[in-house]
Amino acid sequence: MEINGEIFVILGAIILMIALLVADFMRPGLVLFSVVVLFMCLGILSPTEAVAGFSNEGMLTVALLFLVSEGVRRSDALGFLIKKLLPEKKGATVRDGYARLLPTIMSISAFLNNTPIVVVFIPIIKQWAKKAGLPLKKFLIPLSYAAILGGICTLIGTSTNLVVHGMMLDAGYRGFTMFELGQVGLVIAVVGGLYIYFLGERRLPDDQPLPAEEMAEEDEEHIVEAVIGPRFPGINRTYHDFNFKSHYGADIREVWRRGIRQTNVKRLTFKEGDMLVLETDGNFITTWGDSSVFLALNNGKEHKIACPRWKRWLALGLLTVMIAGATFGSYPAVQNLIPGIQLDMFFWVCIVTVVMACINLFPAKKYTKFISWDVLITIACAFAISRAMSNSGLADFAASKLIALSGDVSPIALLAILYVITNIITELITNNAAAAFAFPIALATATQLGVDPMPFFVTICIAASASFSSPIGYQTNLIVQGIGNYRFKDFVRIGLPLNLIMFVITIILVPVFWKF
């Protein structure tokens, strides 16, 4: 195909964007927004196309699911469930813990945002591991991995699936049903769970004393481990430039980054994912627990949420109604009962969010605190960049090169190449952006081959979520890295084989369930 100047402009901008994201120069949302503004100034995107992602159904569903997840978290239904399931017997082994934890976390994460699940379970698992005399480092990475594996199984299990779903609707395709992705996702989750069960204990490191545990026992309630989140105002600022104590009333004792204790704290530049060991007045967790300034707070103790029992059951009931409504709402018989109303996932999540706000399952006046705005801006801007790739011909150009690279042998070879490319991008930057960039290439590839694009769309969903070899691509990995003081190589050691397992299963099973 003919190459025009716009293709080189967009390709150069995307390469620069990836470099900025890897370098953590700015927050991902602002990096992508800057690229969208550039394309709009060059006439590659119209203003309408630039902002279209902000009204996309998939993006808005992700926003509301943040609030639903917060409502369930505050009901303490998750904590209540996991405490009932953890083995109480003396002499429990790591595998005993895996047998109870992994299926439970996978099941919950199929329907709720992964981040609050991991944040809720960390202090519970930490307290349980301490009582059972088991090494905490054997459990935190599996906690994150189980949340990722469960999220692959349903439409709402991860924002990545909703992003691809929204792009499919925009392109005129039907989108995914609630459990459609589970045809492959369930197999991946089961095999991934078995991999962790049999090899997790061997491939994960043993504990070294965590910072908070090295302090005097009578001082423990005043020592807090805090993982820096995306809204921390001191990101990319030095210790001297940002007066932490004046902002939060706490002293920094230590800083850990990627499992390594930073020796020269006074010259340190704060980064998202840094784990701070703080000396506080004892009220720090109460004061900052609802803030998105920190991804996770932990003082080694279990934190009980004051919530009436009826709210706990009501939260679970509302979640069940949302899932059932979205599952059966697409059936013609159900649609005929209420003509004129589309009973899809977006409809039900709107209803549940409003009900949760009315009964104060999450503070209605503070609802903006529980939405990760950078994630939403990243998703919306990724939609616009995807459109620019299609408008300029870059998607068609990339598709033609992929077809040539595969040697025109089989769509399965292209499926494998697309998986690898998407997976590498998600490990380097972020899962939602990776899915949005791969989508137009997948669609163009299927169009040029004259095959159904559905196998390519499913592959993108799985590959963009399969972030196991790096703590960068998925926020839950970043959280457990900070709290568990894991090193980068710890993720590679256990995560790389899991990446390969997911790749093989996907390439074998996707063409079986979704024909080309």
Q: Average pLDDT across each block of 10 residues of the chain; the chain has 516 residues. List them in order.
A: 76 88 80 93 92 89 90 80 70 87 92 84 84 88 95 91 91 90 96 96 78 50 82 84 86 84 82 86 77 76 70 89 87 78 87 93 86 88 90 87 73 91 86 89 91 95 91 83 87 94 96 92
**Sequence-distant (≥ 6) Cβ neighbours of residue 368 within 8 angstroms:** none
Give pairs for 66-69: CB < 8 Å, separation 24+. Answer: 66/113, 66/370, 66/371, 66/372, 67/353, 67/356, 67/357, 67/362, 67/367, 67/370, 67/371, 68/112, 68/318, 68/319, 68/322, 68/349, 68/352, 68/353, 68/356, 69/112, 69/113, 69/115, 69/116, 69/117
In the chain, list all ranges with CATH 3.30.70.1450: 211-298
Name the one residue in this structure whose structure tokens are 């992929």. 402
CA nearest to 505, candidates 218, 193, 285, 221? 193
The H or E element that residue 386 is part of is: helix 373-392
**Are 176 and 74 spatial neighbours (Cβ–Cβ below 8 Å)?**
no
Written as six digits, the tokens of 208 are 């070294």
CA nearest to 33, candidates 19, 53, 11? 53
Beta strands 260-261; 251-257: pairing state: antiparallel
Rounded distance between C-alpha atoms, residue 428 and residue 23, angstroms:
10
The type of residue at 72 is V
- Look at residue 495 in the predicted model and tell me its pLDDT: 94
- Look at residue 430 in the predicted model and tell me its pLDDT: 79
Kindly report the backbone phi and psi dihedral angles of residue 479, in degrees, each rounded to the nearest multiple of 5, phi listed first: -65, -50
Looking at domain 211-298, its CATH superfamily turns out to be Regulator of K+ conductance, C-terminal domain (3.30.70.1450)
